[in-house]
Each structure stands twice: as C-alpha cells, then as structure tokens.
A = this chain, B = another copy of it.
Amino acid sequence: MASARVSGAVVRRLPSYYRYLTTLERQGVQRISSQELGARMGLTASQIRQDINCFGTLGQQGYGYNVAELKNYIGGILGLDRSYSLIIAGAGNIGRAVAAYPGFLQSGVHVKALFDVDAALFGQSVGGAEIRPLQEMPAFIQKTRCQIGVVAVPAPEAQSVADLMVGAGIRAIWNFAPVDLAVPEAIALGNVHLTDSLLVLLYGLKEKEGD
C-alpha cells in the first residue's frame, strides 16, 4: 500500500507533512482536520485534502485524519520503514555537520564512516563514525553494501568523488558541493545547494524591503 506513486510536487511536500505530524503526535494530538493541519502548514484545507487523497482514503468527512496513521502512512511512502547506511566523503565542517545531524536517528539512516584526504584526521570520530582515508572508500562501499553517499568535498573534487561512489555501487548521492553532478539515470540524486537557498533569501529580503 505504501507503494502509491505520487507527483513530484506532492513528494516535495511529504517531508513537511511528516515533520508536522511527528510534532502533533509528540504533543498528544490524535486527530486533526484538514483546516487545522493546513493552518499550521501554511496550506489551504483543500490543498491538504487533495494531497492526502493521492494516497487513498485516509480521512473521513467530518472526522479529520488520524495523526499516527497518517504519519506512518507517509513514512511508508518515504521509505522510512527501512534502514539505510550512509558514508560521507569530506570531513570538513559540512561533512561533520551531516555526520552529527540528529535528524538521521528517526529516518533509519546509519552513518558508517567519513572519508577524507587529510591524514591528520584519520582515526578521529564524528557522531560515532570514524574518519578514514578517501582511497579506502570504494572498498568500504562494496564491503558494507552502503546505499547512500554524501558528497561534502570542495567543488572541484565533487564529480570525481561521485564517480568513485557510483563505481563502487552506491545507489543514492546527497550532494552538498555547489556544483551539479552528472550521475547515471539509475542513481538517486539530491542536492543541498546552500548558495541557492541564500540567494532566494536575499531576494525575499529585497522584496520585503519594497524595492
């Protein structure tokens, strides 16, 4: 049932649903109407109903949604009912921030190792994972059947590191370098372009100031 195909725009909203529903569940809320959920999320009630209708019939007219049920259902669509291993190339600030990120715990993602070229870092540990020589990365990916590779190296190295990962059998790349990587069609690719986010913020700032 969690294999429903949903459109790209809905998929991009799913993490936000998941986040709000997790907070509601923690607060002890058991049911929520599309109006209330919409108000919290900054969406209209009809948008909420439309999105959730994509997954099948999870709410009853006049009764709202069961928070735990909807959360678990969305978690299933997102693949949170599985576990994943992840390695990080680059043990600088961004690689360390990712390794220590508390959000992994509830996502079933386990950080297995960081890799770097700086020998002074080898053997150090970040968030419970060890920093190892970059040249050991391909064998490590093969041995551990690790699915997710984080690219947190400087931009000029990013593509070659991604190529190494793909060659070793990685299935998904989470890219933090400010470049657009080329990966085979079969590989999932997610980008966190901090500069893009900053530029949209600067635009927002300019607009708010009435320029």
Contact = CB atoms under 8 A, between A and B. Distances in A.
Count copies of this chain in the complex.
2
A147 interface: yes
Contacts of A203: 11, 14, 77-79
A148 B80 contact: no
Q: Is the interface of A mostly helix, strand, loop or mixed?
A: helix
A48 to B, nearest CB: 15
Nearest to A100: B93
A152 to B, nearest CB: 9
A178 B101 CA distance: 10
Contact of A200 (B11, B195, B198): B11
Nearest to A40: B180
24 contacts: A11-B200, A14-B200, A14-B203, A15-B193, A15-B196, A16-B196, A78-B202, A78-B203, A79-B206, A80-B202, A82-B206, A84-B202, A93-B96, A98-B194, A101-B194, A103-B198, A147-B205, A171-B205, A172-B202, A172-B205, A188-B205, A189-B204, A190-B200, A192-B194
Interface of A: 3, 11-12, 14-16, 18-20, 77-80, 82, 84, 92-94, 96-98, 100-104, 107, 109, 147-148, 171-172, 174, 178, 180, 186-190, 192-209, 211
